[in-house]
Structure 1
Amino acid sequence: MKVMDADIVVCGGGPAGVNAAIAAGRTGARTMLIERYGFIGGMSTAALVYPWMTFHTLSGKQVIKGIAQEIVDRLMAMGGSPGHLRDTVGFTNTLTPYHPEMYKVLAVDMLKEAGVKLMLHSFMDEVRTADGEIEAIQLATKSGKIRVQGKLFVDATGDADLAYQAGAPCLVGRGGDNLTQPMTMKFRMRGVDLQKVKQYMIDHPDEFYHKTPFDELTHLPLSGIQGFKKHWQNANLPINREQVLMFTGPAEDEVLVNTTRVQGLNGLEVEDLTEAEELGRKQVLMVAAFMTANLPGFENASISNVGAQIGIRETRRIEGAYTLQADDVIQGRRFDDVVARSGYPIDIHDPSGKGVTAAWVQGDGAYDIPYRCLLPRKVRNLLVAGRCISTSHEALATTRLTPSCMATGQAAGTAAGLAVRQGVSPAELDVVLLQRELVAGGAVLA
């Protein structure tokens, strides 16, 4: 069996893993990033999760910067993003459109600049541990099995696959029944007359989300639409949602539709995932046909792209040194060991019903994510970033959003690099030193 080694091994090439690997590489640590697909981006590219929401609080203060903002800046420079736009759905203050194909290329460029060894088409299928530490992981690849050894590991798989296989305690779903937020097959449509859509929104505000900034629509670029309630209700489709949700771009006649909903299936079970893919793609055709037949502005629209896989909001998460709670989010709680902040509200897509449960952040509009949420129990040389950090089911409904995942990715990668440099475990790392390094890297911690 081929053997490879690195100081830091990051599993999962989504936004959290990309930012973790870049951050780790920039500390000078020999870093390797493992990704199962043939491209980077995770849910942002494979599942068309778009746009990125949000880098700001509801009042407009930016609380996520660092590597995440660097990515946005570089995308803007290459014509791959307009930057942060006003959210015309009204759920957040801003959202950030991006071109997924440009993001795929830029992310690899930035990984290479940081000296990261990238391994695509590599599926982690085994974890070897001894005395509470990971010794190596095994990859299944086209060229056979590969053993990857490392000093420290970062789990950015989204599903806590590495942590779980290493023996770290994990949780799934909400308390009581372990049901998770539904999966969504996202798709794009081209040929949309967005000016006609905007005019319909202005003329029929009662059909759209009540927080939509109607008085600003005449001069704001249309970035998101949630509504067409009467059209949706009259269609009576077998999809457990109350209305249509979509976001515009990146092209001028294009939307990303986030309206399908697959409930009651477990994203950790291969047979459930298989069924979810089937149901999701059938729903895509159903929703697209409904939109072209019924919605103003969609008369000449057609499907242009469907996700390579279904989008997954929630699966497994670790039980860490601290578990972020809903009250921590709502109260805008501060922590001495803060390593990231977020202003995104709690946003729970009902695991079994039609609705979405939302709760907004009080105080200054942002809450802290403590370093302890990145530290799994029982595995000393492992950090976790992204969707599978230590939270309650309710708190996960905000930390799972892409900018937050980017921020915890930068925190985990920086911590891993510093721990390797000092020869200590992540739990032994001086948090003040970590915070100083994060701030130097552009992160917002206050």
Structure 2
Amino acid sequence: MNKQYDVVIVGGGPAGINAAIAAGRMNVTVLLVERYGFLGGMSTAAMVYPWMTFHDYKGRQVIKGIAEEIVGRLQEQGASPGHLRDTIGFVRTVTPYKQEEYKLLALEMAKEAGVDILLHSFVDEVKVSGNSIESIVLSTKSGRMTIEGKTFIDCTGDGDLCHLAGAKMQVGRVDDGLTQPMTMKFRMNGVDLDAVKKYMIDHPDEFYSKSLIEEIKSGVHPLTVVQGFYPQWKKAGLPINRDHVLFFTGPGEDEVLINCSRVQGYDGTKAEDLTKAEFEGRKQVFMLAEFFKEYVPGFEKAGIASIAPQIGVRETRRILGEYVLTAEDVTNGTKFEDRIAMSAYPIDIHDPKKDYVTFAEVGGDGTFDIPYRCLLPKEIENVLAAGRCISTTHEAFATTRLTPSAMATGQAAGTAASIAVKEGVRPKDINISSLQKILKDNDVILD
């Protein structure tokens, strides 16, 4: 491994993986740094499953590129069925996948692109000269290590790199700084999904109003997502601040991913808060498992198959960029001249204090653009952000935080960083048209 690179990417989640592959394919030297012993970020460490959504409500695919290539290769391995209809009707599609296969595939694709990878490494210091990062210092098992780079990309999710470099950051809501709650996800197996489907067909009024009950009954679409069991949840009276059950089927035939825990009031950038959240989240998991076995038809013989290695963190820091994407941009379906990605996921805010979710649909033609300026922190000139920590408001963040969007902004950032290195300019000074042409040629920007 070298100690000097053209592009240094911190964070090996969906954004970092796609950024690294994109940059490597541009024939520059690339290092991808990840704190865990595997890649995948929240998709693997927190078992965020499935990926949603690659399509708008009409079924038009709006996110492709390396993200779609990953889905295709997982399909070839039998590790994903591809894009399936969301059977609660919240979005158009969901994309199930097997996380262990994804961990390996991400490593393989990065290696194929010529990327150097350093796992078990945590960035704890950033050395800045003027308005540029000169190097980062990693804490590793073999001691501290200094890595120099020409251009850096923050794919940490929490904006750690930009924060340590002194960039201005935003956290949570404007009025109180509170962030969306965390969730400890877990899998249960031994689930009789036929019994679940039968109950849904017999009691449609107990489920989310947009649920595709008739399509499930006719077999047009396989059951992928269940939201409801409202009476059972109310009767149980669990001390968890939500009002319904939510779970996703697969990848095993008798397996589901439970997304029901809600851990509120903690700051995902503080070790003390994360420690408390992990403890509370795991207590909720066992409480929920007992609830499912006792109250939910089809779960009578089910048990816990696995619990996420870490709690899922929805929201922490975001950069204050050259442009801040707003809720109005989403609800108006705004188009930008410097767009580098598209999304069709609605605003989906899990309230930091209460038991409800605030929802707002994407306006216009059902998609909105993410502009390049959202990847550019104002103060630091040789760094880009991708994934969760791009420049948005708290409200707009509730859509851009989703995995397919993170993959798309990651590929855009990796491509832009490589162009900046080759042209010897700051990322903010690259030719946007040249960037967009490459992204169009690689199916990231779609007409």
Q: TM-score, normalised by structure 2?
A: 0.99
Q: 8 Å contact 1:339–1:445 — kept in the other structure?
A: no
Counterpart residue number, 1:313: 314
Q: 8 Å contact 1:249–1:256 — kept in the other structure?
A: yes
Counterpart residue number, 2:337: 336
Counterpart residue number, 1:88: 87
Counterparts of 2:21 and 2:88, CA distance in 1: 33
Counterparts of 2:387 and 2:66, CA distance in 1: 14
Counterpart residue number, 1:6: 5
State the number of aligned residues: 445
Q: 8 Å contact 2:436–2:445 — kept in the other structure?
A: no
Instruction: Please list, as runs of the form range in 1=range in 2, the aligned pairs for 1:3-82 lying within 5 A after superposition.
Output: 4-82=3-81
Instruction: Please list, as runs of the form range in 1=range in 2, the aligned pairs for 1:349-368 lying within 5 A after superposition.
Output: 349-368=350-369
Counterpart residue number, 1:228: 229
Q: 8 Å contact 1:133–1:380 — kept in the other structure?
A: yes
Counterpart residue number, 1:136: 135
Counterpart residue number, 2:177: 178
Instruction: Please list, as runs of the form range in 1=range in 2, the aligned pairs for 1:142-221 lying within 5 A after superposition.
Output: 142-218=141-217, 219=219, 220-221=221-222
Instruction: Please list, as runs of the form range in 1=range in 2, the aligned pairs for 1:380-419 lying within 5 A after superposition.
Output: 380-419=381-420
- The CA deviation at 1:364 is 1.3
Counterpart residue number, 1:123: 122
- The CA deviation at 1:3 is 7.4
Question: Which whole-Å deviations, capped at 9, do the CAs of 1:294-332 have from their partners, x for residues lacking one?
Answer: 110001100001010000000000000000000000110
- The CA deviation at 1:444 is 2.7
Question: Which whole-Å deviations, capped at 9, do the CAs of 1:97-123 have from their partners, x for residues lacking one?
Answer: 000000001000000000000000001
Q: 8 Å contact 1:226–1:245 — kept in the other structure?
A: yes
Counterpart residue number, 1:277: 278
Q: 8 Å contact 2:4–2:147 — kept in the other structure?
A: yes
Task: Give the letter for the 2:257 counterpart.
Answer: L
Counterpart residue number, 2:104: 105
Change in Cα spacing, 1:3 to 1:411, as seen in structure 2 (3 Å) is closer
Question: Which whole-Å deviations, capped at 9, do the CAs of 1:196-233 have from their partners, x for residues lacking one?
Answer: 10111111111111010112112121000001100000
Task: Give the letter for the 2:276 counterpart.
Answer: E
Counterparts of 1:321 and 1:173, CA distance in 2: 19
Counterpart residue number, 1:261: 262
- The CA deviation at 1:419 is 0.8
Counterpart residue number, 1:241: 242
Counterparts of 2:246 and 2:203, CA distance in 1: 16
Q: Which runs of 4+ in 1 moved over 3 A?
A: none
Task: Give the letter for the 2:376 counterpart.
Answer: L
Task: Give the letter for the 1:359 counterpart.
Answer: A
Question: Which whole-Å deviations, capped at 9, do the CAs of 1:117-167 have from their partners, x for residues lacking one?
Answer: 000000111000001000000000011111000000000000000001101
Q: 8 Å contact 2:183–2:313 — kept in the other structure?
A: yes
Q: TM-score, normalised by structure 1?
A: 0.99
Question: Which whole-Å deviations, capped at 9, do the CAs of 1:49-94 have from their partners, x for residues lacking one?
Answer: 0000000001111000000000000000000100000001210010
Counterparts of 1:444 and 1:165, CA distance in 2: 31
Counterpart residue number, 1:301: 302
Counterparts of 2:340 and 2:233, CA distance in 1: 42
Task: Give the letter for the 1:314 counterpart.
Answer: E
Task: Give the letter for the 1:229 counterpart.
Answer: Y
Task: Give the letter for the 1:361 counterpart.
Answer: V
Counterparts of 1:339 and 1:43, CA distance in 2: 23
Task: Give the letter for the 2:67 counterpart.
Answer: A
Counterparts of 1:186 and 1:157, CA distance in 2: 20
- CA RMSD of superposed structures (Å): 0.8
Counterparts of 1:97 and 1:247, CA distance in 2: 9
Q: 8 Å contact 1:3–1:147 — kept in the other structure?
A: no
Counterparts of 2:367 and 2:202, CA distance in 1: 34
Question: Which whole-Å deviations, capped at 9, do the CAs of 1:367-412 have from their partners, x for residues lacking one?
Answer: 0000000000110000000000000000000000000000000000
SS in 1 for 2:3: strand
Counterpart residue number, 2:287: 286
Counterparts of 2:233 and 2:422, CA distance in 1: 56
Task: Give the letter for the 1:162 counterpart.
Answer: L
Task: Give the letter for the 1:68 counterpart.
Answer: A
Counterparts of 1:393 and 1:198, CA distance in 2: 36
Task: Give the letter for the 1:13 counterpart.
Answer: G
- The CA deviation at 1:445 is 3.8
SS in 2 for 1:9: strand
Instruction: Give ranges in structure 1 of 5+ residues lacking alignment.
Output: none
Give me the identity figure in percent: 60
Change in Cα spacing, 1:269 to 1:315, as seen in structure 2 (3 Å) is same
